[in-house]
Amino acid sequence: MKSKTLLRSGNRNVLLDAVSQLAGAANIALVDKSYFLTSKIVETLIAPHAKQWGHDIGGTGLGRTLAEHLDRRAAQAVGVERWNAVLSSYNALVRSYRRHGSQPPTVDQFFAALADALVNCDEEDTREVLTMVWESREFAYEYEGRSEVELRELDPLMPTMSAVARNWAMRTDGAPFEFLADTYSGLTPTVREWLVESSRLPLVVAGNVLPTADLRGITLADSTSDARIQLADILAGVGREVARLAMDGVFDDELQVAVHEMLDNNVMASDDSPLDLLQGCRPLRYRDDWVDANW
């Protein structure tokens, strides 16, 4: 069974019934990959450049402001194709999975795409931010020869899994648990150990104290032979569909309403973006209950 089968209009009632049976037993994390990449450009290039001059753009919130500006305005200011070229070339530079069986990527394509975007930017504010990226480009050289483990935080799966672990701690009121994940080369034993350890560390986001997770381990299995992972794949397809609807400006579809309580407390997207609005358009009862009990 694939999610695309259940998502056909003729199977909507079957899907809604299945979703209702999973109430309280499912978590869907929404990740805007374009925003993730944009924020990492700011974090890995502008932030260390600013630090040389004694400025902490992460601690002051300026880093998020810059990332959100680029996420909202860059595509329009330089053209969709040019901005996609910047993101895709940066992704090729820093994503660890692209290093298997091939020579490590170089900065050349990213620099070329960035220069093209800067030259063709017709909005002053966006040009200023892109200029900050360009003036910080020397830090991109650090990622040409980095190892898979060193790049773990630049793979969206890693911070997402860590955040999801904390969300399950919120859902289960701190009970111990384990993760079962589809086989993925990036989830090496070292990376899995790092994820377990990082989920147990105190974390404050935007002034909010997040729960620590009693994650005991992460086991990998082949999705073709494990029904639990197949079920998770179906839910991932449902998550993509409710996100797609939100990106099209729809927030009250019956499927969105049905799965809302499954949405993760953390959304990796810019403020007031469609995914952020989708998560915030209705209360999350499990989150409110946890806040009432712990704050």
> 134 or 208: which carries more pLDDT confidence?
134
Q: Are 260 and 284 in contact (CB under 8 A)?
A: yes
Identify whether the C-beta of residue 237 lies closer than 8 Å to the C-beta of residue 8. Answer: no
Residue 12 and residue 108 share a domain = no
Q: Are residues 207 and 265 in the same domain?
A: yes
pTM for this predicted structure:
0.85
Give the C-alpha separation, 253 to 169, whole Å. Answer: 29
**Could you tell me if 61 and 90 lie in one domain?**
yes
Mean pLDDT of 127-151: 82
Question: For the residues 118-124, what does the mean pLDDT come to?
Answer: 96
Domain boundary among 137, 152, 167: 152
- Looking at the fold, whether 20 and 161 belong to one and the same domain comes out as yes
Contacts of 112 (CB under 8 A, 6+ apart): 89
Q: Of 1-10, 117-126, 153-162, give the range with the top mean pLDDT.
A: 117-126
Return the structure tokens found at 7: 């998502």
- At 149 the pLDDT is 47
Residue 22 and residue 79 share a domain: no
Separation of alpha carbons 215 and 194, rounded Å: 11
Measured over the CA atoms of residue 120, residue 125, residue 126 and residue 131, the dihedral's sign is: positive
Residue after which a domain boundary falls, among 92, 125, 152: 152
What is the pLDDT confidence band of residue 97, given thresholds at 50, 70 and 90? very low
Q: Please give the pLDDT value at position 152.
A: 56
In angstroms, the CA 241 to CA 200 distance is 32
pLDDT in tens, 221-232: 998 889 999 999
Does 278 share its domain with 222? yes
Say whether pLDDT at 153 is over 80.
no
Specify whether the CB–CB gap between 49 and 13 falls below 8 A: no
The whole-number pLDDT of residue 40 equals 92
Span 225-253, average pLDDT: 94
**Mean pLDDT score of the chain, rounded to an integer?**
89
Domain boundary among 152, 180, 209: 152
**What digits encode the pLDDT tens for the residues 270-294?**
999 999 999 999 999 999 999 898 8
Q: Return the pLDDT at 172.
A: 92
Specify the pLDDT at position 92.
84
Residue 215 belongs to domain spanning: 3-26+156-294
Rounded distance, CA 155 to CA 105, Å? 16
Residues 105 and 89: their CA atoms lie apart, in Å, by 9
Q: CA torsion, points 132, 137, 142, 145, in degrees to nearest 10?
A: 140
Least confident interval from 11-20, 30-39, 137-146: 137-146
DSSP 54-100: T--HHHHSHHHHHHHHHHHHHHHHH-HHHHHHHHHHHHHHH-GGGGT
Same domain, residue pair 248 and 233: yes
End-to-end CA distance of the chain: 42
**Do residue 284 and residue 162 come from a single domain?**
yes
| Same domain, yes or no: 262 and 146 | no
Cα gap 157→147, rounded to integer Å:
17
What CA–CA distance (Å, rounded) separates 277 from 220?
33
pLDDT on residue 260? 97
Q: Using a pLDDT cut of 90, give the percent of the chain over it.
A: 70
